[in-house]
Structure 1
Amino acid sequence: MWTELVLRSVPEQGDRPAVTDVRTGEVLTFAAFERRVTHAAAGLRRRGLRSGDRVVVDLPPGAALPLAVHSVAWAGGVVVCPNSEGDATARMMITQGKWSHVEGGEIRQVFTMEPTEGASPFSDLLRGQPWEFGPISGPAVDCGGRVLSDNELASALRDMAAREVVREGDVVLAAITDRPRLVRLIDLSLMVGAKVIIAHDPTLIGCRVLAEEHRATVVVANRDLARRMGLHPGRRILEEAVLSSRHASCA
């Protein structure tokens, strides 16, 4: 399955850093990412999520975004991109803090990364035992009215891995703000055993500093930024369009 494929490097990579969020300073290891996903999935199930239920995930680019996405997927839910047609049929929402109620929607439970009146902390979902087994197949993401299956998303990852967009041991600077593409890049990096540094509001100077500071071997950015980064020995500069796949794409 999709999330299982993303987590396949965890036994080998263990406590090595996997995702660094520059905005918050948070560093998640491979093992910690898996632990939070499986525990949050169990928490969602305890709160009533059932297979096929829709959950709006409205988070800014950062480490919390893929964590929430895969928690929902591992619990058997369908991740709904914000402001898409699937909003109205979602039962739950995961967001940063203060949220906008979905007009005419069916959302009954909201989980927030920041303490927010009227919502439950996402951290509460991490308590208790993990959810051991995710779904084998079925719908996984509803992005702008297009529903992508677990199999499509897994095939897209395998396609990018075969093209060696990211390789094992790479340090990847993610200088993109498109949320579906960011999740796809983090998925791929985790899958192959690479480390991701998530830039916040990426600028040319900021990316050059971060690339040097973290000794990035790969920088993935929008077309303009990628072209302005310039050549650097031992570093690949890729346009974010490289994350497109013939199997699955929301972007």
Structure 2
Amino acid sequence: METPADAAHRLDTALLARWDAHPGLPAIVDGEHVVLAGEVRDRAVRTAALLRQHGLRPGDRVAVLLERSADFVIAVAAVVLAGGAHVAIDTANPRDRVHFLLEDSTPRLVLTSDALRPALPDGLGARVLTVEECAEAPDPDGFAPADALADRPAVVIYTSGSTGRPKGSLLSHRGVTARLRSLQGSHPIDADDRVLHHTACTFDMFLVEVYWPLLHGAAVVIAAPGRHRDPEHLARLIRDQRVTTVWWVVSLLELFLLALGPGERVDGLRQVLTGGEALSPELVRRFHSRSRATLSNLYGPSECTMYCTAWVCPRDPDPETVLIGSAIEDTTLRILDERGRPVPQGEPGELYIGGVGVSLGYHDRPELTAERFVPDPVDASAGTLYRSGDLVREVAPGRLEYLGRVDRQVKIRGFRIEPGEIEGAALGVPGVRQAAVVADGTGHETRLVCFLVLDGTPDGPAPDGDTRRGAERVRTALADRLPAHMVPAAVVALERFPLTPNGKLDHAELTASAAEALPTAAGPAPVTAAPGAAVPASAPAAPGTGAAAGQADLAAVVAEVWAAVLGVRAVGPDDDFFALGGDSFRAVRAVRELEERTGLQVPMHLVFEASEVTEYADAVAALTR
């Protein structure tokens, strides 16, 4: 195989070189199945050849709709080998979201499975291949890398859009390889390492979990589909598969530590990377108290390919302030004021990011690309800068502290969310006249509230009952259309929106009202159980007996625990934990409380699989049979 002139800056040639050099190394661990590097190469090349046979050209997009698995890893690698750019679509997304991504990305082909193929829309306009078809394809007679790929897209990552339409950021081969080269230089891994792959494919850090180990001989250990936010599953996987390296979004790191038992440690880990949200000094201290692993805070928007700054959190003593660190190699950072002028050291300003990692722009969005990707005002010859919208300050030469956002964008579980996208979805529901979305809380406690003005009756506002039903209808519609992290925890209908003296929507007043609209953590006051449910006895069962408190109805115990944890007055037998405002953190609290009340050992994942009171109680009861 002739080596392309731009091979040093390409993901495809780097992968083939690694697999050819070490075909016998374990490359992927998926449950009980271990896939060697040589098998990954053969399957990826076979799939890449088939993609080309069906018309894939360099730079074409290929949508990949697969569960997290060895098949998924091989599929995205195959797209890169073929010269295309993969658009990985989370199978957990609502149907409407999947259809939008398939339409907006205009893929040449779609890679999926026989099981998921029926979920594809009619009239897709793209050739569909399944992994089963690829497995049956003959080996190609020969396979040569495509020409001149370094500055073509290898990956498309969709992020939330302020206009209500998500946008696809085009990440180049050159940018991806530069970022992984920098990461390997600062956090080296080799054949003795194992890297956990659990991050949703809608978040660009999944590229670190997949391509970084594949390029350096470490094994990719795959978390089971649907279990990526189950801390018990992840802890067991880390322990049983001897995982040494993990990336956690900050909220998931918090959840993982929260779920650990008293005195439980995770010293098998060697290095932990985190980011995606603000990292607090208190969380750093708690992590250091549970593990000897290094903890590194990485920062960077998807438009700059995974990350652009890094900071290893010191210990002994732990930091009083957590920084996002310094620019990594091949990266330019500018801190500018509203007029595009550099600010003095120590003063806050908006962060502009340049260098090889900067995205090629947004797919089919030239106006938005021109707005966010701008010439360097300090050095016009330096190339394009990305306007991050993040406020930072330089606390010491080259060392940055993150201060917040300059716009309305928020982050939930590391995902960037533009409230305008949710507002647009709400306005698409019949009967909604106005919509405004605000965030309440910080860190993992951040929750979204959607305020509405609904169409009234000819004689005035709708009755209260109709208003409540209308709000519930809108929340159901949003859950059908948006990813889970974008569905508001509460939807509230108002008669009219508050306005500023200038006649503009008063976001500050809505934000101040958001806390009242959300369930709050319950205090020691008694909580009413569901109507008709047996009231649990106050005395808990002896630990390990497996009997519900005082032999009371287990469903009533569950209802009472959920009501207390979620801060609601009553929970009915058909109520859903997550529809009531539950999340992974409250799930941990609910499980711990239920265990204390009943003496049972309750797996964390049950609430994700059976989220209504009665079905959850049945699943818990089944553990004792």
Q: TM-score, normalised by structure 2?
A: 0.35
Q: CA 1:220–1:88 in structure 2 vs 1: closer, same or farther (change >3 Å)?
A: closer
Q: Aligned AA for 1:42?
A: A
- Three-state SS of the structure 1 residue aligned to 2:55 is coil
Question: Of the candidates 108, 117, 130, which is equivalent to residue 91 of structure 1?
Answer: 108
CA displacement at 1:151 relative to structure 2? 0.9
- Three-state SS of the structure 2 residue aligned to 1:220 is strand
Q: CA 1:66–1:51 in structure 2 vs 1: closer, same or farther (change >3 Å)?
A: same
Question: Of the candidates 173, 197, 200, which is equivalent to residue 174 of structure 1?
Answer: 197
Q: What corresponds to 1:146 in structure 2?
A: 169
Q: What corresponds to 2:254 in structure 1?
A: 224
Larger Rg: 2
2:113 maps to 1:106 = no
Q: CA 1:215–1:85 in structure 2 vs 1: closer, same or farther (change >3 Å)?
A: closer
Q: What corresponds to 1:238 in structure 2?
A: 272
Q: Distance in 2 between matches of 1:224 and 1:178?
A: 21
Q: CA 1:141–1:99 in structure 2 vs 1: closer, same or farther (change >3 Å)?
A: farther
Q: What corresponds to 2:330 in structure 1?
A: none
Q: Distance in 1 between matches of 2:14 and 2:218?
A: 14
- Three-state SS of the structure 2 residue aligned to 1:141 is strand
Q: What corresponds to 2:499 in structure 1?
A: none
- Three-state SS of the structure 2 residue aligned to 1:34 is helix
Alpha carbons 1:61, 1:182 under 8 Å: kept: no
CA displacement at 1:127 relative to structure 2? 3.4
2:85 maps to 1:78 = yes
Q: CA 1:43–1:30 in structure 2 vs 1: closer, same or farther (change >3 Å)?
A: same
Q: What corresponds to 2:214 in structure 1?
A: 190
2:235 maps to 1:214 = no
CA shift digits 1:115-140 (9 cap, x unpaired):
xxxxxx23234533342224432122
Alpha carbons 2:88, 2:201 under 8 Å: kept: no
Greater alpha carbon shift after TM alignment, 53-62 vs 135-144: 135-144
Alpha carbons 2:27, 2:214 under 8 Å: kept: yes
Q: CA 1:207–1:101 in structure 2 vs 1: closer, same or farther (change >3 Å)?
A: closer
Q: Distance in 1 between matches of 2:77 and 2:201?
A: 17
Q: Aligned AA for 1:131?
A: F
Q: Distance in 1 between matches of 2:79 and 2:47?
A: 8
Alpha carbons 2:61, 2:105 under 8 Å: kept: no
Q: Distance in 2 between matches of 1:238 and 1:26?
A: 25
Q: CA 1:88–1:173 in structure 2 vs 1: closer, same or farther (change >3 Å)?
A: closer
Q: What corresponds to 1:118 in structure 2?
A: none
**RMSD of aligned C-alpha atoms?**
2.9
- Three-state SS of the structure 2 residue aligned to 1:19 is strand
- Three-state SS of the structure 2 residue aligned to 1:233 is coil
Q: Distance in 2 between matches of 1:29 and 1:215?
A: 17
Alpha carbons 1:41, 1:125 under 8 Å: kept: no
Q: Distance in 2 between matches of 1:174 and 1:186?
A: 7
Alpha carbons 2:81, 2:145 under 8 Å: kept: yes
- Equivalenced residue count is 242
CA displacement at 1:183 relative to structure 2? 3.5
Q: CA 1:187–1:7 in structure 2 vs 1: closer, same or farther (change >3 Å)?
A: farther
CA displacement at 1:64 relative to structure 2? 1.6
Q: Distance in 2 between matches of 1:226 and 1:165?
A: 24
Alpha carbons 2:156, 2:169 under 8 Å: kept: yes
Q: Aligned AA for 1:224?
A: E
Q: How does 1:155-166 map to 2 (within 5 A)?
A: 155-164=178-187, 166=189
Q: TM-score, normalised by structure 1?
A: 0.81
CA displacement at 1:93 relative to structure 2? 0.3
CA displacement at 1:105 relative to structure 2? 4.4
Alpha carbons 2:87, 2:105 under 8 Å: kept: no
Q: CA 1:189–1:93 in structure 2 vs 1: closer, same or farther (change >3 Å)?
A: same
CA displacement at 1:178 relative to structure 2? 4.1
Alpha carbons 2:239, 2:268 under 8 Å: kept: no
CA displacement at 1:181 relative to structure 2? 2.6
Q: What corresponds to 1:122 in structure 2?
A: 134
Q: CA 1:128–1:89 in structure 2 vs 1: closer, same or farther (change >3 Å)?
A: same
CA shift digits 1:147-170 (9 cap, x unpaired):
111111111211211221644421
Q: How does 1:21-60 map to 2 (within 5 A)?
A: 21-22=30-31, 25-60=32-67
2:51 maps to 1:17 = no
Q: Aligned AA for 1:227?
A: L
Gaps in structure 1 of 5+ consecutive residues: 115-120
Q: Aligned AA for 2:187?
A: E
- Three-state SS of the structure 2 residue aligned to 1:219 is strand
Q: What corresponds to 2:465 in structure 1?
A: none
Q: Which has the higher contact order (CA 8 A, sep 6+)?
A: 1
Identity of aligned residues (%): 25
Gaps in structure 2 of 5+ consecutive residues: 1-9, 90-97, 159-167, 276-297, 300-305, 309-356, 363-414, 416-625
Q: What corresponds to 1:62 in structure 2?
A: 69
Q: Distance in 2 between matches of 1:58 and 1:165?
A: 31
CA displacement at 1:38 relative to structure 2? 1.6
Q: Aligned AA for 2:125?
A: E
CA displacement at 1:56 relative to structure 2? 1.0
